[in-house]
Amino acid sequence: MLILAAVVVIVASLVTVRAADTTMPVAGQPAPTFTLPSQDGSQISLASYHGKWVVLYFYPKDATPGCTIEAHNFQRDLSQYEAKNAVILGVSEDSAASHQSFCTKEGLTFRLLADTEHTVAEAYGSLSNMGVLKIAKRNTFLIDPAGNIAQVWTSVDPSTHSTAVLAALSSLSVKPVTAMPQSVKPPVNPGMTQQ
């Protein structure tokens, strides 16, 4: 009986540890760091984007209908992201070669990262384990310039998601305007006379 109780305690602790390993990070926590190959084979590290907003989106599979719509919408809005000092990084379990083919076919110019070992999707609590098949869940993490999670979206709608991320980015990155104190007068244009 004592041995059975000990086995139950050990198994329960292992299950708890496993669940903790796949917990999704939440707003306010540091974003898990990573380095993954992109579609051109170059190694992309989250740390290299320090000082920028990062839209880190996970998607199930290259060249599938929902994933293509989502990627097209991010591409469509890319200039708006760049104007807000933001980069887009897509992550799936597909290979870099698969990403290259997808980018070429669909005209995608932002980075798609190959998480073939499933480590990054797992670190972000975004890995679906379907027996032998492991794919990323459709989740997005907005990471602030200091490297912290600013907002999380789960099970997103690929057709409207980019618009939602842009709206959040706009509200989060807006700096409050400080009113000029009354005792300070604005500089006078030398070509104008004061009245």
Domain ranges of the chain: 34-172
pLDDT tens column, 32-51: 999 999 999 999 999 999 99
- What CATH code is assigned to 34-172? 3.40.30.10
Given a cut of 90, whether residue 3 has pLDDT beyond it is: no
The dihedral region occupied by 99, where left means phi > 0, alpha psi between -120 and 50, and beta the remainder, is: alpha
Each residue's pLDDT tens digit, 164-173? 999 999 999 7
| pLDDT tens digits for range 175-193 | 443 333 444 444 444 444 4
- The reported pLDDT for the residue numbered 10 is 38
Beta carbons of 128 and 136 less than 8 angstroms apart: yes
The one-letter amino acid at 71: A
Tokens of 177: 């305007």
Q: What pTM was computed for the model?
A: 0.78
Strand-pair category, 53-58 with 86-92: parallel
Checking if the pLDDT of 109 tops 50, the result is yes
The model's confidence at residue 107, banded by pLDDT at 50, 70 and 90, is very high
Position 99 pLDDT exceeds 70: yes
**With pLDDT > 70 as the criterion, what percentage of the chain qualifies?**
77
CB atoms within 10 A of CB 116: 15
- Please give the Cα distance from 10 to 48 (Å, whole number): 40
Residue numbers annotated as active site: 67
CA distance 3 to 109: 59
Residue 173 is predicted with a pLDDT of 75
Alpha carbon distance 30, 50 (integer Å): 12
